[in-house]
Amino acid sequence: MENNNRDKGLAISLISTVFGLVVVNYFMPSVHITDTMSAIMLALVLSMLNYFVKPVLKFLSVPMNIMTLGAFNFIINVLVLMLAFHITKGVSIDGFFPAMLASLLLSVLQSFFTKLF
């Protein structure tokens, strides 16, 4: 029973990320996602980076997080998002500041869609 809940949570998280990416693409002209399959692939890459790379970055940035009272976590989110855009074919983002706005918007949308499902 516990595996079903975990699998359901993972599926909801991926669907929320895909919906969030599509909305970000619609509202931000500096974010370019060519088609739905690219959005799905970007969501998968982003999920894998969040699972494998982000914990390492958070550990390595503990001193910066202490100095900025945790605000550096937002920069880590932006860098992971930019890396996901760089890895995935069919998507692009026009720089660091658009990535900051996209990261913020995506976080809000993911929270909204996760609560909705």
Please return the burial class of 104, using the count of CB atoms within 10 Å of its CB with bins 0-12, 13-18 and 19+.
Answer: middle
Count of structural domains, the chain: 1
Q: Please provide the DSSP assignment of 32-61 as one string.
A: EE-SHHHHHHHHHHHHHHHHHTHHHHHHHT
Q: Please report which confidence band the pLDDT of residue 116 belongs to, taking 50, 70 and 90 as the band edges.
A: confident
| Cα dist from 32 to 18, 57, 70, 93, whole Å | 14, 26, 30, 6
Domain that holds residue 22: 2-116
Instruction: Report pTM.
Output: 0.90
Q: pLDDT for 38-60, tens place per residue? A: 999 999 999 999 999 999 999 99
The span from the CA of 45 to the CA of 87, in Å, is 8
Q: pLDDT for 1-34, tens place per residue? A: 556 666 777 888 899 999 999 999 999 999 999 9
Per cent of the chain over pLDDT 90 is 81
